[in-house]
Amino acid sequence: MDDEARKIVERYSAQAYAVAFRLTGNHADAWDLVQNAMLRVLKSYGTYDPTYKVEQWLARIIRNLYIDRLRAEARRREDSLDRVPAEERRSPAEVLPDPGPGPEDAASAASDGAAVHRALGELPVELRAAVALVDLEGYSYEDAAKALEIPASTLGVRVFRGRKLLKEKLAPVLGR
């Protein structure tokens, strides 16, 4: 294992966690993403392109792992429904939990931070990643665009749309 790779893991774990948490919305999934990302850093440090900042490289790894996880979860949901005989299938309303706010949600909605975090989690992943990197993690547009592997103009559009959606989602909660 390369000493430089170990230094990256030690130095950037907290920052990687912040990015992962913004994407996943919960601590356990964020730590899981960070662990997988750091394993990837350790295994593939030899392929690291130094034209990218380490933060960009890590953000790209985390984003890719997160998207892979979403795809795998979608496939599992589709597979599991296909394997249930038709006579045993129930409607989604019977199987899935009520998406409405429960007691925990009502209590946490009292704080603005919880409302922002929840609204961020409702954004499409490409908008969430753009807003999280630029507005919450403080990346420059150039660095965030490189990390997401998109043109800066596309990033600008995604940040604009993400902010607009967040504002719409937060207006009733924050009374603005």
For 47-65, write each residue's pLDDT tens digit: 888 888 888 888 889 988 9
- For the chain, give the percent of residues with pLDDT over 90: 27
Read off the CATH number of the domain in which 37 is found: 1.10.1740.10
Instruction: Provide the pLDDT for residue 84.
Output: 54
The confidence band for 81, taking pLDDT boundaries of 50, 70 and 90, is low
Terminal-residue alpha carbon distance, the chain: 52
Same domain, 75 and 109: no
Same domain, 51 and 70: yes
Read off the CATH number of the domain in which 111 is found: 1.10.10.10
Same domain, 113 and 46: no
Same domain, 101 and 138: yes
Q: Which range has the worst mean pLDDT, 31-40, 102-111, 137-146, 147-156?
A: 102-111
Same domain, 150 and 120: yes
Same domain, 56 and 114: no
Same domain, 114 and 69: no
pLDDT: which is higher, 175 or 64: 64
Instruction: Provide the pLDDT for residue 108.
Output: 47
Same domain, 18 and 87: yes
Same domain, 88 and 25: yes
How high is the mean pLDDT of the chain? 80
pLDDT over 90 (residue 159)? yes
What average pLDDT does range 10-25 have in this prediction? 90
Same domain, 101 and 72: no
- Distance, in Å, from the CA atom of 44 to the CA atom of 33, rounded to the nearest integer, reads 16
**Among the three residues 92, 116, 133, which one is the final residue of a domain in this structure?**
92
Instruction: Provide the pLDDT for residue 33.
Output: 93
pLDDT over 60 (residue 160)? yes
- Distance, in Å, from the CA atom of 61 to the CA atom of 147, rounded to the nearest integer, reads 9
pLDDT over 70 (residue 86)? no
Apex CA 66: angle with CA 60 and CA 70, to 5°?
145
Q: Which domain holds residue 110?
A: 97-176
According to DSSP H, which parts of 109-151 are helical?
112-122, 125-131, 141-148
Same domain, 117 and 166: yes
- For the chain, give the percent of residues with pLDDT over 70: 76
Same domain, 79 and 118: no
The total domain count for the chain is 2
Instruction: Provide the pLDDT for residue 165.
Output: 93
φ/ψ bin of 25: left (φ > 0), alpha (ψ from -120 to 50), beta (otherwise): left
**Among the three residues 69, 92, 115, which one is the final residue of a domain in this structure?**
92
Per-residue pLDDT reduced to its tens digit, 88-123:
555 544 544 445 555 455 444 445 667 777 888 889
